[in-house]
Amino acid sequence: MEEKVGMAKLWALSIVVLVLAAAPGVPAVPITLITSAVDKGAVCMDGTPPAYHMDPGSGAGKKSWIVNLEGGGWCENVTACMYRKGSRLGSSNLMERQLEFRGILSSNPAENPDFYSWNRVMVRYCDGASFAGEGYDAGSRVYFRGQRIFDAVIQHLLSIGMSSADQVLLAGGSAGGLSAILHCDQFGAFFAGRSTTVKCLADAGLFLDAVDVAGGHTLRSYFGGVVATHGVAQTLPRSCTGRLDATSVRNVNTCIALVSSVYMHACYS
């Protein structure tokens, strides 16, 4: 009897999963691997090619693009990065082959009235340093190529239509939000000489260099490890590192909007 009840529950669960999978208005967006980027050294931590998902625009949104940089934390030393290398955050081989676009990437006008008809892109995160690293650890065979990934993906998107965009938005959340701050001006430079309107959006991408409750600088120490491990110092904007007050946000010249929740504890820890 218990076995029959268990099977009934399993069948019921299967039906629910199938119904949800077939739910209208949330199409699955397939992954695209940029295999040509490998020759440029633009690779994930395990050497696999960078990836993105794209849902093409329609109607009035055909010449508008939103490029969203995926978040997912960081790795601050080689040991942590070796662990990360064996996950979807370090290898495109382990990424989901399809994603449901929701929120700012949704194609549902009721859920996403401002951007639903735009070309919507999710750039997958697999470098561990907010798309800003440049290096390689031979001992662990871990690649730190975030900057090359960012450049390769943007150049690829330009080649498939983004170069003729009327307006573009670089966005990201958490680690992706920090990346949007770091790369905002670089992103804008790709459209230099064009009439394209360029803006950026960092959602929960501000991480304060403040004394914590224990009297230390936890985030300063943590991000110091990220910078040292990934070789980030050589890719950071000169407009930021060349000043005594090396605060990225104050030195971003491209229009950028900052969104942060008081409940995003990592931003204030």
- Regarding predicted confidence, which is higher, 219 or 14? 219
> What's this model's pTM, rounded to 2 decimal places?
0.87
Least confident piece of the model among 101-115, 118-132, 159-173, 236-250: 236-250
C-alpha distances in Å from residue 159, one per residue of 69, 84, 86, 155, 193: 19, 31, 31, 6, 16
Rounded to an integer, what distance in angstroms lies between the CA atom of residue 132 and that of residue 216?
A: 26
Which of the residue ranges 9-18, 41-50, 195-204, 243-252 would you say has the lowest mean pLDDT? 9-18
* Average pLDDT score over residue span 243-264: 77
Question: Which residue in the block uniquely carries the two structure tokens 């936890």?
Answer: 218
Overall average pLDDT of the 1-30 stretch: 51
- Return the number of other C-beta atoms located less than 10 Å from residue 50's C-beta: 28
pLDDT tens per residue across span 172-227:
999 999 999 999 999 999 999 999 999 999 999 988 888 888 899 999 999 999 99
HSE-up of residue 189 (Cα within 13 Å, Cβ side): 9
- In angstroms, rounded to a whole number, what is the distance separating the alpha carbons of residues 124 and 106? 17
Residue range 226-243: mean pLDDT, rounded = 85
User: Tokens 């224990």 belong to which residue?
Assistant: 214
**CA 69, 36, 29: angle at the middle one, nearest 5?**
45
Q: Tell me if 259 sits within 8 A of 104, measured CB to CB.
A: no
Q: Which residue has the tokens 């170069």?
A: 163
Strands in 64-69's sheet, in edge-to-edge order, are 98-100, 28-33, 51-55, 119-123, 64-69, 167-173, 197-203, 256-259
Q: How far apart are CA 149 and CA 36, in angstroms?
A: 11
User: Taking the domain 27-268, which CATH number applies?
Assistant: 3.40.50
Question: What pLDDT was estimated at residue 97?
Answer: 98
